[in-house]
Amino acid sequence: MRFIFILFILGLFSFGKTTTNHIGTSIVDNSKVMSVDTVVADSLKAIIAQGKALFISNCSTCHDIGLREKLIGPGLHGVTERWGAYPREDLYAWVRNSQALVAKGHPRAVGMFGAWKTIMVSFPNFTDEEIESILVFIENS
């Protein structure tokens, strides 16, 4: 999902402006072509900034903003690796409603809830992209 999202952003920005010269041949004006590296770095920065802002306003009361300390919930550093045996969508499902995933018997969800015994707040209105931006922020911090 993340890669599709980044490819989409790339698609929006990476094409140079074409113009037509005096004999009617289409030419690419290279001065307007942004380097792909710059576009990727800028999109990644924007996604990380969005994820950080969402984390601060929604998660940081229970999860350390530095991602390493335990607060009401665990430090989220390395969380995508810990969920690495499952599809990324399982983490989206967890954030939207962790107890629903526990009820389904998801091994990681059952294990985490069993260890912490605190019900995490649900964020049912978060889109895949919003949750993904939080995960990308976590992975890059």
Q: From the list 82, 88, 93, 100, which residue makes contact with ligand HEC (rule: CB under 6 A)?
A: 82
Task: Look at residue 117 and give its three-state secondary structure.
Answer: coil
Give 5 or 13: the residue with its C-beta nearer to ligand HEC: 5
- Least Å distance, CB 47 to ligand HEC, is 14
CA 7, 8, 12, 14: dihedral to nearest 10 degrees? 0
Map the footprint of ligand HEC across residues 36-65, applying CB under 6 A: 58-59, 61-63
Q: Residues touching ligand HEC: how many (CB under 6 A)?
A: 24
Residue 137 found at the interface with ligand HEC (CB under 6 A) = no
Alpha-carbon separation of residue 121 from 4, 20, 41, 107, 133 (angstroms): 28, 57, 32, 19, 18
Please, which contacts does 43-46 make with residues 24 or more away whose CB atoms are closer than 8 Å?
43/6, 43/9, 43/10, 43/13, 44/6, 44/136, 44/140
Which residues ranging from 90 to 109 are in contact with ligand HEC (CB under 6 A)? 91, 94-95, 98, 108
> Tokens at residue 100, please?
């629903």
State the minimum distance, in angstroms, from the CB of residue 109 to ligand HEC: 7
For the bound state, the minimum distance from the C-beta of residue 115 to ligand HEC, rounded and expressed in Å, comes to: 7
Torsion 84-90-95-99 (CA) sign: negative
Binding residues for ligand HEC, rule: CB under 6 A, are 58-59, 61-63, 72-74, 76, 79, 82, 91, 94-95, 98, 108, 112-113, 116, 118, 120-121, 123, 134
